[in-house]
Structure 1
Amino acid sequence: RRHPAARSFCTLLGGVTNRRMATAPAAGIAAVRAMLESQNPMAVALRERAPVLYLVTDRRDRSADWLCAHVEKCLDGGVDIVQLRDKTLPDAEFEALARRLLDLTRSRNVPLVINDRLDIAARIGAPSIHVGRKDGALSDIAARVPSDCFIGFSIDFDNRTAPVPPEAHLLGVGPVWPTKTKKDAAAPMGVEELRRVIQNSPGVPAVAIGGVNAGTIADAIRSGCVGACVVGELMDAEDPVATARKLKQIMRDA
């Protein structure tokens, strides 16, 4: 039996109920729908594995070798999507790490998302990027990456009521709860605002981020998200395999 999160993702593909799309050019509507129905690894993961467990990396002062080994354990536990996020690593080191993670995730049929570094994402052939409003106009960003690149876009408390750009294929909504892993994070929006964002953008899938852990992840899924992004709960886990399995089970039971 398919999880309600998977059914809701398929439902949003079935008709123009999307108020965001209603004001977009027909070509834009067709392009977004085509991406969500495509064989891009992100689209496939969302269609076939929802609710998805979405790992966002937090390397801090730990080595690239440690990070790759830790991500592999998270994959062993059932992580469905991996995002490489590192604001401080020099480009050359970031690209080397991204290539290693791309090889690892491809071997597991799991999509790799590159946060911000558009040129590197395009150069290594990553299937997806993730950006926010501070990174520039999404139309300009979309023009800089391959046409088959899946684009994730951040929605936080401060821009939760702003129109969603038609180039966005997935919304990362949050922080929903207080978080320690992103020092410049906006104020937590809470579950009710998370629900409101999802209701106001019914034609684009959303994942929750910020303070997601074993105690909060079920609420994220019940709110209508197709998945949840987890940072500290997985990156700081002593047993990432067991932690990922536990989170996946909580999501399935939600």
Structure 2
Amino acid sequence: MQTENVTKYIVNWLKDYASNAKVNGFVVGVSGGIDSAVTSSLCAETGLKVLCIEMPIHQAASHVTRAHEHITQLKERYSNVSDTRVDLTPVFEEFKTEVSLEGKQATVDMALANTRARLRMTTLYYHAGLLGLLVAGTGNKVEDFGVGFYTKYGDGGVDLSPIADLMKSEVYAVGEYLRVPHSIMEAAPSDGLFGDARSDEDQIGASYPELEWAMQMQDEGKSLEDFEGRQKEAFKIYMDYNRRNQHKMIPIPICEIPNKFR
């Protein structure tokens, strides 16, 4: 990948989109992870207003530290970057008092994890509406179109997706070019939706290099029978997620009424 050219292309794309939409800039949720760090850095490069928002909900201390480090660095390098912090922990806890928490613990935990993402989406759009900004998504190609590893109408609820055509390895390449802090570059990717330090690999069962490989194999028309050992296991994990999460990747189904009923 031509990292410098790709970076400049995305920055120009962001500027053109904002200009056509007649908005002042972007709002980005910053989590302490590589995807939000790269996205906020790309937005900062446009010279337009960028608001970085931290939205902790029982957040792991390591995530908070990395987010602070990144935002501090961005503000030192770019005069167009500002930040705010919205502690959503009390909102989340109040939400839990108003809903049923009965059922299988794993199911309840997942529903609450997705609720965290949706509370954050609401917060981003509140500030976007208040300041005339666009919500910039932080999903990469593997997450958005491979395994569907995001929350529908949570971190998947955005106005535009600047890095959604970049594989995870390409996001890291852009991050290195944009001088994202080493602490973020070296940290294990994590969605931070469970209030602990579990990584994406812990949840998915495969690493991003394995998922990128499996996505390429899918594009080449390979099937499970073409592999054995760990490759077969990783490909199966990828395909299971891909099939299960198709509802996130395709347009919302519309019941189209036949003309004869009009």
TM-score (normalised: structure 2): 0.28
Q: Greater strand share, 1 or 2?
A: 1
Structure having the higher Rg: 2
Structure possessing the higher relative contact order (Cα contacts under 8 Å, 6 or more residues apart)? 1
TM-score (normalised: structure 1): 0.28
